[in-house]
Structure 1
Amino acid sequence: MSTLSWNCRGLGNPQTVREVVNLVSKKKPEFVFLLDTKVDRSHVERLRVKLGWEGCFCVDSLGLKGDLCLLWAKNNIARLISFSRNHIDLVVTLPNRHHWRLTCYYGYPENTRRRDAWNFLKSLKGASNLPWVVLGDFNDLLTQADKRGHLPHPNGLIDGFREALAVCILSTMPMLGYPFTWEGGRGTVDWVEERLDRVVTDVEWLAGNDKARLYNIQTLNSNHSALFLDIYSTHGAVQLRSFRFENAWLLDDGCREVVVGEWTHSAGQHLQYRHVSCGRGLKRWGANIFISMAPGSKP
């Protein structure tokens, strides 16, 4: 099962529609979550027909305009729990697999409503006890490393978002590809890049979907890139060996930096998840060390 999530900044542009169709053709997801569509339901229905899919669901936010829509390839693979202007909540029911919860999420875009966004996210926690994954545009940053350019992100906003995820017992899933998902002001002194789009999961979902991979896909018709979550890792993901700590790493100062960084980044999360986070960080760092030491590698 795979899901494509994209803040497309409007489906009224035929080029954006073609890009959605091309992404679906290449990645073959079962679900597509589109944010900030700025069109009515008839546009989304035409997209569904163009894709040859069986269902779609739209959330109207301002009269005839729909901000959120979810399309699915086959019926009977999900059941709606709830929806609002900021989310669509589903129970995913795949054959021969345990049910789990998928929340398609759009955080309030207004900077003055950050606290509202955190409180709303926390309010979703009690809707189900199933393993949980949330994906979409959160309009929030988790660390200063989630931003490049212009002014630093206010630490109070980072702390508020971290606290909301901690209450929900959710942690960010590692993302393959470019580290930022949104940009503004390209070509000017105010050019900024941020990781506004992400996937967060609880430990139970991650344990039951240990092959899952998240990819950042650069797009042409929006200043947001698309996220592609593949729980079977069938789209060319690099197969990683199981984690094994190497004693030689203790001789490198970078090892301590990785552990401290991962432990700080996962502050407030489950102890088990923090251990997993440290293991993943060391695995990535260790792989880079081995590559740099390989014969013929470039410095």
Structure 2
Amino acid sequence: MIISSWNIRGLNDPIKQMEVRSYLSKNKVEVLGLLETRVKSNNFAAISRTFRLYSIMNNYFHHYNGRIWVFWDHRKFTVLSSQIHDQLIHLELLHHISQAKIYVTFIYANNDASQRERLWDELRGIAGSVTQWIILGDFNIVREMGERIGPNPPSVSEILAFNKCLLDCTLADLNSFGYSPCWDIGSLTHIG
């Protein structure tokens, strides 16, 4: 099972759409969260049609810019339930072959720390009802001060709030691979 996320930083360009299709095909990705699509809702249908083999969900109803799109191979997965918010899309998926249920949450956290507090509360709410949970995305915060690259370091209280959320949800970092110009992108998995 290959599940991935990509902070695409804009999907309006047909060349970028071709890159995503190539990435899906080349890597045999079965579930993909695209973050920061920058596609206006009136362009969603035209662009999403170019991804014919995938079912697609978005969060336009909760954020005017549809910051998160989730693709899944409908030949391999059925979505049993979903929660959609402005900073996350959470799915309960049934894998057709293994009949395993997995929970996947794609995050594109707000840059504003007070808005991220709502996200941490939403994750705590999900944590109590899931097993086999993976979270991928851009949290817009780091776990340690040394992970941040750039001139604007986060406050210690923001880092502590993020780490407390991870602890409360019994989440642990997973290794990730691929190009990552921002160190605040990661994946987490539920332990327990």
Query: Shorter-chain TM-score: what band?
Result: 0.7 to 0.9
**d(CA) in 2 for partners of 1:164, 1:52:** 37
Superposed displacement of residue 160, structure 1: 1.3
Superposed displacement of residue 111, structure 1: 4.0
Instruction: State whether residues 131 and 190 of structure 2, in contact with CA within 8 Å, keep that contact through their aligned partners in structure 1.
Output: no
Kindly tell me the number of residue pairs found equivalent between the two proteins.
Answer: 189
What is the aligned partner in structure 2 of residue 162 from structure 1? Answer: 163
1:263-274 to structure 2, matched below 5 A, reads none
Superposed displacement of residue 141, structure 1: 0.3
Superposed displacement of residue 177, structure 1: 5.0
**d(CA) in 1 for partners of 2:102, 2:15:** 34
* Structure 2 segments unaligned to the other structure (5+ residues): none
**d(CA) in 1 for partners of 2:142, 2:93:** 27
Instruction: State whether residues 138 and 185 of structure 2, in contact with CA within 8 Å, keep that contact through their aligned partners in structure 1.
Output: yes
Determine helix, strand or coil for the equivalent of 1:38. coil
1:108-257 to structure 2, matched below 5 A, reads 108-126=110-128, 128-150=129-151, 152-177=153-178, 180-182=180-182, 195-204=183-192
Determine helix, strand or coil for the equivalent of 2:53. coil
Q: TM-score, normalised by structure 1?
A: 0.56
Determine helix, strand or coil for the equivalent of 1:66. coil
Superposed CA deviations along residues 119-175 of structure 1, whole A, max 9, x for unmatched, are 33323323x232211111111100123223536543222211110100111011122
What is the aligned partner in structure 2 of residue 72 from structure 1? Answer: 72
- State which structure, 1 or 2, has the greater radius of gyration over its C-alpha atoms: 1
What is the aligned partner in structure 2 of residue 11 from structure 1? Answer: 11
Instruction: State whether residues 181 and 196 of structure 1, in contact with CA within 8 Å, keep that contact through their aligned partners in structure 2.
Output: no
| Identity fraction in percent | 24
What is the aligned partner in structure 2 of residue 100 from structure 1? Answer: 102
Q: Which runs of 4+ in 1 moved over 6 A?
A: none
Q: TM-score, normalised by structure 2?
A: 0.84
**CA pair 155-54 structure 1, distance change in 2 beyond 3 A:** closer
**CA pair 28-48 structure 1, distance change in 2 beyond 3 A:** farther
AA in 2 matched with 1:6: W
* Structure 1 segments unaligned to the other structure (5+ residues): 183-194, 205-299
**CA pair 46-73 structure 1, distance change in 2 beyond 3 A:** farther
Instruction: State whether residues 11 and 39 of structure 1, in contact with CA within 8 Å, keep that contact through their aligned partners in structure 2.
Output: yes
**CA pair 160-23 structure 1, distance change in 2 beyond 3 A:** same
